[in-house]
Every structure is written in C-alpha cells, then in structure tokens.
A = this chain, B = another copy of it.
Amino acid sequence: MKNRLPLPTVKRLSLYLRAFEELDHRGITHISSKGLSEILEIPDTQIRKDLSFIGKTGRRGKGYPVRDLIQRIREILGLKSYIPVILVGVGNLGSALLASKLLKHRGFRIVGAFDVDVSKIGKKFCDVRIQDDSKIPEFVKEYGIKLAILTTPGEAAQHTAEILVSAGISGILNFTPENLSVPPYVKVHNVDFTIEMEFLNYLVNAEVLE
C-alpha cells in the first residue's frame, strides 16, 4: 500500500462508518453523498472525494451501497471484530475508559489493565483484572497485543511508555499531557482534552471579537 490516504480522510472514514452503520440499522441500503452530507454536515464533494480514494464504490443515479461500504471502510481502517488492547493507569479516566461501551462496540477490547498502585492490583474492574506494570511485557507477548491506552499520571508517562515500547507495543493512545519520546516505528497519538478545551475557548472568544 504505497498510496496513503490523506489523514483527515481517515478520520472522516470513521465518521462515515458510523453513519453507514446507523443507516444500515434503519434498513437503508443506499445513500447519496448529498444525503450523507446533510447528516454529517460535511460537504458532499468532500465525501465523494474521500470515498473515491477507497475505490469506485458508488452507483451513479442511486448513491452509495451502505452494506458494502461498511465492509470496505472497516477493511481500510484495519478494524476487526476483535482487537485486543491494554490499558495502563487505572485512575479516574482509565476506569471510565474501561467501563465505556464505545470502544467495545467498535471491536476494541481492553483485555488487560495495569497499574502500579498495590491497592488496586488483583482487583477486577469491568471484568478485567488489574495487574502490576511489571506484568506488561509477558502479557503483551502472550496475547500479541499491538495497541495500548496510556492513562497514567503525567509523571509516569514517559517511563511507562518505555515499558510499552520494549514490550513490543506498536501504537500508544496517549491521554497524558506529556510528549512521549519513542522510536519512530512506534506510533503515538495524543488525546488531550485540556488542549481541546483551550481550543474551544479560543473559538468562542475569537468569534466575539471579530
């Protein structure tokens, strides 16, 4: 796969996927780019361009076949019915993610949870037993885990990331405010709601004084 998709397109494919699943659920078999545009508030021309990247899938005069595209997008995004993931740092946010059905609904299963707090270790939370960080390498290897969710406090983030890297993890979803240093073959994707909040605050203020 030489021709990478534009990264914004990748994110939109996730949105399309969700919308298609919802439509399929409602028994709708085809939808036009115009129709989808109204649901998602994304320009129809953008939708057509995005979908054209993943192959000629639509039928002129009729729209896009919902079922087919669900399959196609899941394939492109590498989504399977079962993608094992571990979570490190079972604090407030970590617990919330463990309890969330949203990830599970997409095929991501948090199969292991890790923490350094001895008072948590051994307990079960949402059917997942909390283990000590030192168990990470063994667990990752045994279950062939590629992805990790990092929800430790910021101070522990870099150190924990290094454990993950040496355990063989290939992707880290980083919820800490730290800038992780990892080798280039490991992908880090940062999710930082403080920054999103500041961004929203800017949008609201910028609007006023324009």
Contacts and interface: CB of A to CB of B under 8 A. Distances in A.
Interface of A: 1-2, 4, 7, 10-11, 14-15, 18, 39-41, 76-79, 83, 85, 91-93, 95-97, 99-100, 102-103, 105-106, 108, 146-147, 149, 170-173, 177, 179, 181, 185, 187, 189, 191, 193-207, 209-210
A76 B156 CA distance: 31
Given A79-B198, A95-B92, A102 B177 contact: yes
A177 B201 CA distance: 21
B93 A100 contact: yes
Nearest to A169: B204
A10 to B, nearest CB: 5
Nearest to A78: B205
A54 B109 CA distance: 44
A78 B205 CA distance: 7
Nearest to A170: B204
Contacts of A206: 1, 4, 78
A196 B195 CA distance: 15
A106 B198 contact: yes
Number of identical protomers: 2
Given A4-B206, A78-B206, 11 more contacts: A1-B206, A15-B179, A40-B179, A76-B202, A77-B198, A78-B204, A105-B194, A108-B197, A149-B197, A171-B201, A189-B199
A90 B198 CA distance: 21
Contact of A11 (B149, B199, B207): B199
Contact of A201 (B147, B204, B207): B147
Given A97-B193, A189-B196, A193-B103, A201 B92 contact: no
A202 B77 contact: yes
B202 A10 contact: yes
B198 A173 contact: no
Given A189-B200, A198-B77, A99 B103 contact: no
Nearest to A106: B194
